[in-house]
Amino acid sequence: MKSFKRVVVTGLGALTPIGNTVPEYWEGLKNGVSGCDYITRFDAEKFRTRFACELKNFDITKFLHVKEARKMDPFTQYAIVASDEAIVDSGLDLETINKNKVGVIWGSGIGGLKTFEDEVLYFGSGDGTPKFNPFFIPKMIADSASGNISIRHGFRGPNYATVSACSSANNAIIDAFNYIRLGRINVCVTGGSEAAVTIASVGGFTSMHAMSSRNDDPKTASRPYDKDRDGFVVGEGAGALILEEYDHAIARGAKIYCELIGGGFSSDAHHITAPHPEGYGALLSMLDALDDAGIQPEEVDYINTHGTSTGLGDPQELKAIIDCFGEHSYKMNISSTKSMTGHLLGGAGAVEAVASILAMQHSLVPPTINHFTNDPEIDNNLNLTLNVAQPREINVALSNGFGFGGHNATVIFKKI
């Protein structure tokens, strides 16, 4: 029987509401910076929610020519920026590497929503004559990011998008992991991006009462585990990882951040938007990841939770953690970095994987900020790393991603 190959992380990229590069992102994480403020993308004055976690001081023309950028939706632009950073960070020699053995697997929950929105609004404002940009479809479709990354660098391995709502990036990372450990490819650019600070997105989510409406205090609107949380805050950006077969990385003298040792999947099979009330799907996903990794629950030091700041989601995930880890639940650090970045939807799993890896590298757990009042529905004996980062040696980190439709995906990283 063919044995699995080992898979390591050799490059990281991040474009987030609290930092436009990996070093900036880490500074924001360790210092507990809130990326939330009033929306500037459009006039949100009449919206129930008027704030979001937007990118700050980001200019795509610093990375792409204007003509090139116009052919891409923002979610693809973000993917290009983060993946370029990760590729440079990995030290891959793009002149000599076998590009037939390099894949691109990228997640996005929605894809080119801004493009779709703009084109339909433009058409709707006219006399009914169909006038659409010839780049409308190529910009909008969810596989545009993976396709553009592949074209940009000539990577000819497997190339596709994963779409599973807010677990999309974790799905992409696990798929990339499996291609490499099965020996099908040597390297994969993976991660996820989202550009959902748009009229349709904010309008749609607020109509569901899924988003916070704390318009008087947006900086503290994303408050996972707090008694007064009132919904998630939408964010935007991208996270990227370079996954590489261990021997391939060693042979070229690559810097190795950590090893990816397991990935787990499950479905809630319960409701199109609400999580399973007992957290059963989340439990199954974590158990599957632990089994895949071949480790015991007691070996996990840190969990970067899905932790969206919603009334239903937060308690169910923590219940699942207690059911999965038992008494060890109280010995781990747990935190939600969405308290700082907001919820990047299909890109969330990627930026949170990067956060988990950086926490491991720096032996520092990023905090869950904006916690003011304990929630009696939550076991507050858990170490939720409230408000301030905590030093900790992290050998194994687990990161959860859950999505509308009941999709659950968990990844586990281990220090080498």
Q: Looking at the DSSP assignment, which residues form a beta bridge with residue 401?
A: 409
Given 153, 248, 343, 407, the catalytic residue: 343
Helices of type H across 276-312: 280-293
Could you report how far apart the first and last alpha carbons of the chain are, in Å? 26
d(CA 242, CA 9): 6
Catalytic residue among 306, 324, 371, 407: 306
110 DSSP 8-state letter: S
- Give me the catalytic one of 166, 188, 258, 324: 166
Instruction: Report helix, strand or coil for 240.
Output: strand
Catalytic residue status for 343: yes
Residues pairing with 202 in the sheet? none
Catalytic residue check, 270:
no
Told to judge if 271 belongs to the known catalytic residues of this protein, a careful annotator would answer no
Quote the radius of gyration of the chain (alpha carbons, Å): 20
Residues near 194 by beta carbon (within 8 Å), at least 6 away in sequence: 75, 78, 108, 109, 110, 235, 236, 237, 238, 344, 345, 346, 347, 348
Residue 407 CA, chain-centre distance (Å), reads 14
Task: Give me the count of residues in the chain.
Answer: 416
Burial of residue 37 (number of CB atoms within 10 Å: 0-12, 13-18, 19+): middle
CB 162 within 8 A of CB 106: yes
**C-alpha–C-alpha distance, residues 243 and 411, integer Å:** 13
| Residues annotated as part of the active site | 166, 306, 343
